[in-house]
Amino acid sequence: MLVIGSMIGSGIFIVSAEIGREVGSPALLIGAWLVTGIMTIVAALSYGELAAMMPRAGGQYVYLRESLGPLWGFLYGWTLFLVIQTGTIAAVGVAFGKFLGVFFPSISSSHWILHLWKVPPIPVGPMVLGNMEVGINTQNLMAILLTIFLSFINVLGVRTGAVIQNIFTTAKVLALAALAVFGFAFCRNPEAMLANFHGHFWEHAGLGALHDIGGGVMVGTLTVLAVAQVGSLFSADAWNNVTFTAGEVKNPSRNLPLSLALGTGVVIALYVACNFIYLAALPFHGTAGASTIMARGITHAAEDRVATAVMTLRFGSLGGYLMAAAIMISGFGCVNGLILSGSRVYYAMAKDGLFFRKVAKLHPRYKTPAISLMVQMVWTCVLCISGSYGQLLDYIIFAVLVFYVLTIVGLFVLRRRRPEAVRPYRAVGYPILPAIYIVMALFIDIVLLRYKPQYTWPGLIVVLLGIPVYYAWSRNAKVQGSPSV
């Protein structure tokens, strides 16, 4: 349940609209999710070996440290703070604002409170940097307020944060299960079925087809599928969080690989099923700004809220409100869990002398990493105003894939360096399946560097900047014999 609960957030209810606009084909919409499913399950099967071999708290940080060295463990923690964890909190918070807009239409990404800057497009060779809106609108303001509220709640004690987490954990599973059950039973629409399946499913899906990904840039089918992975991979991410708590899992050598494999498999099956429901209920193609749900279709659902559109179409405004409320509860619990867990990583890094010294201090009364929570909160709020939901996903996924690739490379390294190590579970399909994952993930990262450079190159620079920071902090820690500032 921990794997399933971590994976299901708000993405599956939103990102299919963006993916649809990018791929332009019902078949490729499903294809994008199937690619995500294959990659996620293969990665989980590979991580299972590492989890069974090193069932200690820290998960991915430990795997990188033990296989590739302490520098790589630090770079993961560094990027977790600057991009991955905080970027995910910001993206889920913005999604919370999207669905709050169902109840209060004034909450929208187009309603600006303080528009700081329209970063113009800056051509750099084949790349285009910039081209983003920076400021506070009513939608990302909700993300900021949610982040601040939950950060202070978590200062009040681990038990307080845990109570909130327990209350909201099951909501995300229930929302997705409800969409799947009610969708298949009640939401099939003859008009949508005719438009999406009867002779049109494979339309524009051939390997030789060209796709416009914006600005008149035409790319092939494999490339557009790689670009589209941003949203689907984000929606299927966080499956590895179960490894962070390996020290608290009973019989981790058996249960961690099992939970990774079963959890990812169940979620991916639900995700693919939900996208078939979307195609059965709404026309794939739609018109931006159209007055009806059917006319907007999947690709131009209001504020990309595809799941809400499906439920509203079948059950009226009540269905839309119920779905929006369920997704908001899911997002609320997801943000709380990310805030709670992320702050502990930076606290541990600070105790090791690899982050700001004050971050290692606990609140004198509540014994929580209060400063770590506040530092995380401030940076998350900065990310909230730096781009839209889709732009935040671009920031996150590039860096996430970099460290997934490095971790699976570590699997190969450990097989060679520690052949005698006890491995209660061995990765299924090794070495072929892990190698396929590495090739696919690298291809996606290269495509993102080429076609979404304004978000991916900064992410790469963030990772590289961590190298001199690691050596500086390590040197100071050795000289002072304690965590450095």
Q: What's the pLDDT at 458?
A: 76
Phi, psi of 480 (to 5 degrees): -85, -20
Provide the CATH number for the domain formed by 2-480 in this structure.
1.20.1740.10
What pLDDT, in 10s, does the model give residues 346-359?
887 887 788 888 98
pLDDT single digits (tens) 444-457: 999 988 888 777 87
pLDDT in tens, 153-181: 989 876 666 676 667 767 777 777 777 88
pLDDT value for 393: 65
Asked if pLDDT for residue 152 goes beyond 90, the answer is yes
Mean pLDDT to the nearest integer, 194-202? 90
Answer whether 0.85 is exceeded by the pTM: no
Give dist(CA 44, CA 41) in Å, integer. 5
Residue with the larger pLDDT of the pair 56 and 302: 302
Nearest to 274 by CA among 238, 318, 309, 234: 309
| Placement of tokens 């010294």 in the chain | 357
| pLDDT at position 482 | 47
CB-based contacts of 100: which residues, under 8 Å, 6+ apart? 107, 142, 324, 328
Nearest residue to 34 via CA among 281, 213, 232, 288:
232
CB burial of residue 129 (10 Å; 0-12, 13-18, 19+): middle
Cα separation, 274 vs 177, in Å, equals: 9
As beta bridge partners, residue 219 has 211
For residue 34, count other CB atoms closer than 10 A to its CB: 16
Mean pLDDT of 53-60: 75
Q: Is 484 left (phi over 0), alpha (psi -120 to 50) or beta?
A: beta
CA 416 vs CA 330, 404, 422: distances in Å:
42, 19, 13
Q: Which of 97, 99, 93, 101 is nearest to 323 (CA)?
A: 99
The pLDDT of residue 215 is above 80: no
SS3 219: strand
pLDDT band at 483 (very low <50, low <70, confident <90, very high): very low
CA distance 189 to 283: 9
Identify the pLDDT of residue 46: 92
Name the average pLDDT for the chain.
Answer: 86
* pLDDT band, residue 484 (cuts 50/70/90): very low
In angstroms, the CA 296 to CA 302 distance is: 8
> Per-domain residue ranges for the chain?
2-480
The reported pLDDT for the residue numbered 261 is 85
Residue 17's pLDDT band (cuts 50, 70, 90): very high
What tens digit of pLDDT does each residue of 369-419 get? 899 999 999 999 998 998 665 666 666 788 889 999 999 999 999 999 999
